[in-house]
Amino acid sequence: MSLLPSPDARTLRFRLRAPNDHPLLVDNCNGAFSWGLERRVAGVWTSAWTVATDACHSAPIAIPPGASRDFAEAVTLGADERLPADDYRIVVHGVYATHDAADHARNVAVARELLVSAPFAFGPLDAR
């Protein structure tokens, strides 16, 4: 995953690139997929924020082998949520190399290192 320049303080842009030997198949609900931010706490990357999505199961967002797709996603915080200024990284969840809608347990997950961005400075951000 690579970071792209963002148009504003709440929107993060990133690119997912499929390896040459298999597609990336992103679980989603009407185009909304699970992604979030991690930050380092006591030397360990931990979840700091995750997007809220509905629980439906649409056909996966398919990125063909060797191709890439750019995403621009907004960080929206609840009334009491706050993200302090820190180094964060983006992580995308629910990405597979195979996708069997009838038997989700058979899907082959993609290696995590393909789904995590490099650390970047972000925040502070609070609900508005």
| Banded pLDDT at 104 (limits 50, 70, 90) | confident
- For residue 102, pLDDT beyond 90: no
Model confidence over 6-15: pLDDT tens digits? 999 999 999 9
Q: Report which of residues 107 and 13 the model is more confident about.
A: 13
The residue assigned the tokens 């060797």 is 66
Q: Where do the domains of the chain lie?
A: 2-126
Cα(76)–Cα(48) distance, integer angstroms: 13
Model confidence over 7-58: pLDDT tens digits? 999 999 999 999 999 999 999 999 999 999 999 999 999 999 999 999 888 9
Cα(110)–Cα(100) distance, integer angstroms: 14
Q: How far apart are the first and last CA of the chain?
A: 29
Cα(24)–Cα(121) distance, integer angstroms: 27
| Banded pLDDT at 97 (limits 50, 70, 90) | very high
Nearest Cα to Cα of residue 41 among 90, 87, 92, 93: 87
The CATH code of the domain at 2-126 is 2.60.40
Q: Which two tokens stand for residue 51?
A: 């997007």
Cα(113)–Cα(34) distance, integer angstroms: 16
31 DSSP 8-state letter: T
Sorted by sequence, the CB contacts under 8 Å of residue 118 that are 6+ apart come out as 2, 3, 89
